Amino acid sequence: MAISTTTTLNDLYANIVQAALYTLSEQTVIRPLVRNYNMVGTPGLVAQVPIYGALTASGIAEDADLIGTPSTFSTDVATITAAEIGVGVELTDIAREGAAEDIAAAVGRQMGDALAKKVDTDLAALFSGFTNVVGSGAAELTVDSFFQAAAILRANQAPGPYVAVIHPYQAYQIKKQLTNAGATMSHNLSEVGNSALMDGFVGRLAGIDIFESTVVTGASSGAFEGAVMSGDAIGYMLKRDMRIEEERNASKRATEFVGTMAYGVKEIFDVYGVKLLGDAQIN
């Protein structure tokens, strides 16, 4: 007796959702590095983020009344407004039936990757707004650039830990400098240099965890605009997590899958971030 199996639409849908959720989680590089606010299920599209002013302590006499001369405690507010993003895929029956691989997982990965890149692209676009700048479009990034950026953040009392997000072309120059392009050297490489030479990961430099991302864009001058920042420099507000819906289009013998999210991004503390400018060329 012959036994036949059929992949139902429910099975296909579940596989797409699972692959998309996993890809979205794994492919977002910048989102976990910034301050996250969750407004899922909360009414409204705007999150108000309080910005607290600093207080100063001073020496006092034994019987001094601190409340008699209180310090002024003031706050400002940054608002983050959510908006929708989305991606749609039409999967025909003939494509699904003729695919040798798991077409549902492939569709899910592509949808998750598209949403992840959009989230990180919107976050990276905020790097250009940082007032403090290190480097220039006419020169390559150097190791010293990170020490300069770290000094600026510490001088501004930005809370750690510090992270950097740079384009792979910018990271190449740093790795090249740390390893002397693989040439024989009379001195020993640092642990960071050894790591860069062995596995291509820059790692931690000047107290800064360095990440690479292709969503780091170029300025009008042609330079890439990366950043070194505290996690409090930028805010990401999630209003609705990724949602995938499916709809059958019988006349086209196809199924439509639509993935959407709703979120907002905003620079919160300008002095907690430093823009890193570097030549966009590999030399």
What pLDDT score does 200 carry?
35
Between 23-27, 165-169, 214-218, the lowest mean confidence (pLDDT) is in 23-27
- pLDDT greater than 70 at residue 206: yes
> CA 59 → CA 65, 67, 205, distances in Å?
12, 14, 38
- pLDDT greater than 60 at residue 58: yes
What pLDDT score does 107 carry?
80
- pLDDT tens digit string along 69-98? 666 655 677 888 999 999 888 888 887 777
* Average pLDDT value for the chain: 79
**Confidence category of residue 153, pLDDT binned at 50, 70, 90:** very high
- pLDDT tens digit string along 10-41? 566 677 777 777 677 667 889 999 999 999 98
Cα 41 to the chain's mean position, in Å? 23
- pLDDT tens digit string along 100-126? 667 777 788 888 888 889 999 999 999
Question: Residue range 144-151: average pLDDT?
Answer: 94
Helix count (H) and strand count (E) of the chain? 6, 12
- pLDDT tens digit string along 219-259? 656 688 999 999 999 999 999 988 888 888 899 888 888 88
Nearest to 135 by CA among 227, 200, 214: 227
Residues 6+ apart with CB under 8 A from 137: 219, 221, 222, 223, 277, 278, 279, 280
Question: Residue range 33-59: average pLDDT?
Answer: 80
Could you give all domains of the chain from N- to C-terminal order, each with its CATH number?
9-52+66-278 (3.90.1690.10)
- pLDDT greater than 80 at residue 270: yes
What pLDDT score does 154 carry?
95
What pLDDT score does 2 carry?
39
For 53, the token pair is 């002013």
